[in-house]
Amino acid sequence: MENMWGQARAELLKTVGQNNYRNWIEPLEYDGVSDGVVTFRVPTQFMGNWVSRNFGEKILSELNSVGAAAKRVEFTVAKMAPKARPAAEKKTAEPTRDEGDLPGAPIDSRFTFDSFVVGKPNELAHAAARRVAEGDSATFNPLFLYGGVGLGKTHLMHAIAWDLKLRQPDLRVVYLSAEQFMYRFVQALRDKQMMDFKQLFRSVDVLMVDDVQFIAGKESTQEEFFHTFNALVDQNKQIVISADRAPGEIKDLEERIRSRLQCGLVVDLHPTSYELRLGILQKKVEFYRDKYPGLVIADGVLEFLAHRISTNVRVLEGALMRLFAFASLVGREITMELAQDCLADILRASERKVTVEEIQRRVSEHYNIRLSDLIGPKRVRTIARPRQVAMYLAKQLTSRSLPEIGRRFGGRDHTTVMHGVRKIEELRGEDSQIAEDIELLRRALES
């Protein structure tokens, strides 16, 4: 049966998505089967209910499709066995998970400050999170972290929770997504347990709500969130919020909530830089050394990945994990060819699409001329040459046709574009300044 559960999990990963999988399926521990009832251990009652309601059917059907002959799945709250983890990580003691009555989601033990790589794009957010994790007093309240997908918001929140619990095991730290908050709220309404709900949330010491943009447009949830928020701030309890954008940019968020959110410290996580991505990859490699002994990565592979997969750290990590798994399976060194082969789909999906508009902007900045001049009718050399450079780059770096490019340069004819492109091709061979300009621009546009 354990085996079947292994297979069923692999299928579930495909159908529920990585996020759901990580939050809800992965933490389940197979307990046993009797009379066709398959039981899993879960850390909290809340989690059991949630999984049962949202994924119960799916789990059952996946189990049956790999031949389990199960009638029902059940979830029982139990102290969970600590996850087997690579030795490097074992030295951190596990904070007690035994908090049955608290409403939060489990804290992921991989997301610590130790495993968080700090670079320019995230140093402020990291410093603020560290400060909150010291837990002396609510210095910034709330701490509002925002930034694009996969830049480390959830990681930092878990790290805060983890750190706080290590220092002060009795602290009531609650982490949950805004979606879970809403789910709890709706459930309490339905079961006429609003008093309990309010009491529960007002009794925590630190409340962290992830992806708060989720409650935009959901009026009664917002209302309740607002009251919870105020009650906690009044008691000087720390609140940490994350969202995918700044408070002022979340549509359909009540004004009073928006201004409340803005009155603490608002910090953003910037898109990762090449250096940060490389740092993250190196850290991961170091971390998994024990788990995949004999793993050899050829020079340049990490640099290649950091260069090519630039938007989302989650995808970057996923790529590395796939390489590890593949290489250890076939017992081969991870070479550039292997990486390109094994990651073709990811690399294709994260190919950066340069637009003609971006090229125009960069080129006009580079030559210090106005964008309107670059596109406009002026024909003096100081403008016409950069214009031809921009046309050349548009032809090289985008899939636009000559007439399409012409249209974007103030409605010029495709023959004009062609002439410009040829001219630059010619000049590249003769004029080292132009060659250098183009190289510089190309690199900036592709990074």
Site for ligand ADP in 370-429 (CB under 6 A): none
- Closest contact distance (angstroms) between CB of 276 and ligand ADP is 6
Site for ligand ADP contains 153 (CB under 6 A)? yes
Pairing of strands 37-42, 29-34: antiparallel
Pairing of strands 206-210, 173-177: parallel
103: cis peptide before it, omega within 30°? no
Residue with tokens 């995918």, as numbered in its chain = 244
Residue 177 binds what, of Mg ion, ligand ADP, none (CB under 5 to 8 Å, by partner type)?
none
Choose between 25 and 323: whose C-beta lies nearer to Mg ion. Answer: 25
- Closest contact distance (angstroms) between CB of 182 and Mg ion is 16
Chain residue whose CB lies nearest ligand ADP: 152
Site for ligand ADP contains 150 (CB under 6 A)? yes
- Closest contact distance (angstroms) between CB of 7 and ligand ADP is 25
Choose between 116 and 175: whose C-beta lies nearer to ligand ADP. Answer: 116
Site for ligand ADP contains 207 (CB under 6 A)? no
Please give the helix or strand (H or E) that residue 131 lies within, else none. Answer: helix 123-134
Site for Mg ion in 148-207 (CB under 5 A): 153-154
From the list 23-31, 81-89, 108-116, 410-418, the region that binds ligand ADP by CB under 6 A is 108-116
From the list 32-40, 146-154, 355-363, 399-407, the region that binds ligand ADP by CB under 6 A is 146-154
Residue 151 binds what, of ligand ADP, Mg ion, none (CB under 5 to 8 Å, by partner type)?
ligand ADP
- Closest contact distance (angstroms) between CB of 65 and ligand ADP is 29
Site for ligand ADP contains 151 (CB under 6 A)? yes
Site for ligand ADP contains 317 (CB under 6 A)? yes
Bridge partners of residue 334, in order along the sequence: 297
- Closest contact distance (angstroms) between CB of 361 and ligand ADP is 27
Query: How far apart (Å, rounded) are the C-alpha atoms in residues 358 and 276?
Result: 24
Choose between 155 and 165: whose C-beta lies nearer to ligand ADP. Answer: 155
Query: How far apart (Å, rounded) are the C-alpha atoms in residues 393 and 95?
Result: 55
CA 237 to chain centre: 27
**Closest of 86, 124, 306, 102 to residue 203, by C-alpha:** 102
Q: At how many degrees (to 10) do helices 356-366 and 432-446 cross?
A: 130
Site for ligand ADP contains 267 (CB under 6 A)? no
* Binding footprint of ligand ADP, residue count (CB under 6 A): 17
Tokens matching residue 96: 């007690």
CB atoms within 10 A of CB 190: 8
**Closest of 116, 118, 147, 125 to residue 275, by C-alpha:** 118
DSSP secondary structure letters along 49-114? HHHHHHHHHHHHHHHHHTT---SEEEEEE-PPPPPP--HHHHTSPPPP---TT---PPPPTT--ST
Site for ligand ADP contains 154 (CB under 6 A)? yes
Please give the C-alpha separations between residue 253 and each of 142, 200, 215, 248, 321, in angstroms, as whole numbers.
17, 24, 8, 9, 38
Q: Exposed, middle or buried: residue 95 (CB in 10 Å: 0-12, 13-18, 19+)? A: buried
- Closest contact distance (angstroms) between CB of 211 and Mg ion is 6
Site for ligand ADP contains 106 (CB under 6 A)? no
Residue 150 binds what, of Mg ion, ligand ADP, none (CB under 5 to 8 Å, by partner type)?
ligand ADP
Site for ligand ADP contains 314 (CB under 6 A)? yes
Residue 111 binds what, of ligand ADP, Mg ion, none (CB under 5 to 8 Å, by partner type)?
ligand ADP
Site for ligand ADP contains 280 (CB under 6 A)? yes
Site for ligand ADP contains 247 (CB under 6 A)? no
Cβ atoms of 173 and 165 closer than 8 Å:
yes
Near ligand ADP by CB under 6 A: residue from 10, 149, 296, 349: 149
* Binding footprint of Mg ion, residue count (CB under 5 A): 2
**Which one-letter amino acid corresponds to residue 151?**
L
Near ligand ADP by CB under 6 A: residue from 41, 155, 385, 408: 155
Choose between 118 and 186: whose C-beta lies nearer to ligand ADP. Answer: 118
Enumerate binding residues for ligand ADP (CB under 6 A): 111, 115-117, 122, 147, 149-155, 280, 313-314, 317
